[in-house]
Amino acid sequence: MKLLMIEDNKSVSEMMSMFFQKENWEVIFAYDGDEAIELFNQHAQEWDVITLDLNLPGKDGMEVAKEIRDVSQTVPIIMLTARDSESDQVLGLEYADEYVTKPFSPITLIARIKALYRRSGLQEEHKAQEKAQEKKFDIQTKNFKLSSATREAYLLEQEIPDLTPKEFDLLKALSSKPKQVFTREQLLQQVWGYDYFGDERTVDAHIKKLRHKVEQVGPQIIQTVWGVGYKFDDSDVQTK
């Protein structure tokens, strides 16, 4: 872990330094607000956690926190202060993730740092998974893409809105094989299941609603093949 401790009281810094060494953390100390900003900016993307005293010479902790947040919205910050009023805590948490009042136990601070570090790591992992998931499309053509993971479909980079489960499944079935004609019976089997004994007009009703939603974002891509059924074809879609 790479930690920046911003603390004007050198005796507190020296005490915490011993505990940090036991954890094998890389720690850099700043003793006033201006030095803190300078050190932070030198390695802005590398800090794992920042502990920040509210009462600092030069720029105070609140100013430092604001400038850090202007650069990074995600780096975890623990605010350290002798103030303990509710208004100070609320103000501090506008920029910080945790709020620890002095005097504090070094062991407690170490535990809070570890917990915040784990939490931020899980959040970043979750964001990375979401980002990867967003980029994963089962079906993708020049003008259309569909993700089963998020159950979203896009035409000309605009999301087709408010798709019901059956509408999404219909669109997926059709777009999985562009230009192939599907009979109503085939669509009933694929989307409703082999044991579904519904009227083929059920397909027509859902296709009508699906088309209406498609037309909200672009040209029609669900085409009727008279006397047979339906097909997906976006080859004639013109981008603006």
Report pLDDT for 75.
87
The mean per-residue pLDDT over the stretch 161-182 comes to 93
Report pLDDT for 189.
87
- The CA–CA distances, whole Å, from 234 to 22, 48, 87, 133, 221 equal 62, 47, 58, 24, 5
Listed range (50-54, 64-68, 94-98, 126-130) with the worst mean pLDDT: 126-130
The span from the CA of 146 to the CA of 172, in Å, is 7
